[in-house]
C-alpha cells in the first residue's frame, strides 16, 4: 500500500504511450508480466463476467504472427477489400516490435443481462489497467489496433467468432525519450450538467 498519496497520482499523470518500434529490451520478466496481467483483471466488470482474455505472444512465436498477418493481408488483397494498403514491411514491424506483446480479446458473455456494450467497455478498461501496471513497473506500453484487430482470420488465430481483438499491447523499455502529446483543454471536455 502506498503511504505517499502523490505516488499513485504521479504514476497516472506521467503515463504515456511509447512507439512499439522504439521499445527495447528488457521487457517484463515472467513474474512482472504475471503482475501486470493480474492487475489487468482488476477492472470494473458489471456482473463479474470476466468478458476479456489475454494472450501472450512470446518472442519465439513472432515469426508465426508475421506469417499470419501476411496471409490475412493476402486474403484481403484477393478479395479487394482494402488489403492494397497493407504492406509486408508494416506486417513485419507490427509482429516483431517491442520485447513483449499481449493480445487482449473482448469476450462478451452472450445472453447475459449485462449489455454487450458494458462488457466491451470492460475489455477496454482491462487494456488501460495493463498499461498503467506496465508503467508502474518502469516499462512503457502502447495499445494498437489497426486492420489486424478487425480481421476475422487474425482474430480466429487468437479466439473464437464471439470474440473481438480489443488491442495489441506492446510493452518494453523506452529506447528514447518519450514525448508528451497534446492533451485536450479541460474546459473543452468537462461540463456541469444543468
Residue 5 has pLDDT above 60, yes or no: no
Taking the domains of the chain in order of start, what are their residue ranges? Answer: 20-176
- pTM (whole model) above 0.85: yes
DSSP of 129-172, one letter per residue?
Answer: HHHHHHHHTT-EEEEE-SHHHH-HHHHHHHS-TT-EEEEEEEEE
Q: Over the stretch 104-116, which tens digit does the pLDDT of each residue have?
A: 999 999 999 999 9
Between CA 164 and CA 166 the distance in angstroms is 6
What is the pLDDT confidence band of residue 165, given thresholds at 50, 70 and 90? Answer: very high
What architecture is domain 20-176? 3-Layer(aba) Sandwich (3.40)
Give the residue, 91 or 84, on which the prediction is more confident: 91
pLDDT at residue 81 in the model: 55
Compute CA 98 distance to the chain's CA centroid, rounded to the nearest angstrom.
13
Amino acid at each position: 500500500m502506498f503511504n505517499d498519496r502523490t505516488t499513485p497520482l504521479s504514476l497516472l499523470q506521467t503515463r504515456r504511450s511509447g512507439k512499439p518500434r522504439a521499445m527495447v529490451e528488457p521487457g517484463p520478466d515472467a513474474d512482472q508480466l504475471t503482475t501486470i496481467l493480474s492487475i489487468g483483471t482488476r477492472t470494473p466488470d458489471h456482473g463479474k463476467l470476466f468478458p476479456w482474455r489475454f494472450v501472450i505472444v512470446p518472442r519465439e512465436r513472432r515469426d508465426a504472427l508475421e506469417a499470419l498477418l501476411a496471409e490475412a493481408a493476402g486474403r484481403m488483397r484477393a478479395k479487394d477489400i482494402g488489403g492494397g494498403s497493407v504492406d509486408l514491411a508494416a506486417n513485419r514491424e507490427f509482429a516483431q516490435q517491442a520485447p513483449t506483446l499481449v493480445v487482449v480479446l473482448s469476450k462478451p458473455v452472450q445472453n447475459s443481462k449485462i449489455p454487450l456494450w458494458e462488457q466491451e467497455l470492460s475489455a477496454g478498461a482491462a487494456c488501460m489497467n495493463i498499461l498503467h501496471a506496465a508503467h508502474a513497473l518502469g516499462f512503457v506500453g502502447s495499445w494498437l489496433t489497426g486492420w489486424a484487430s478487425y480481421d476475422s482470420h487474425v482474430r480466429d488465430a487468437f479466439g473464437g467468432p464471439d470474440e473481438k481483438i480489443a488491442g495489441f499491447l506492446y510493452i518494453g523499455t523506452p529506447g528514447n525519450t518519450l514525448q508528451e502529446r497534446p492533451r485536450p483543454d479541460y474546459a473543452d471536455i468537462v461540463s456541469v450538467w444543468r
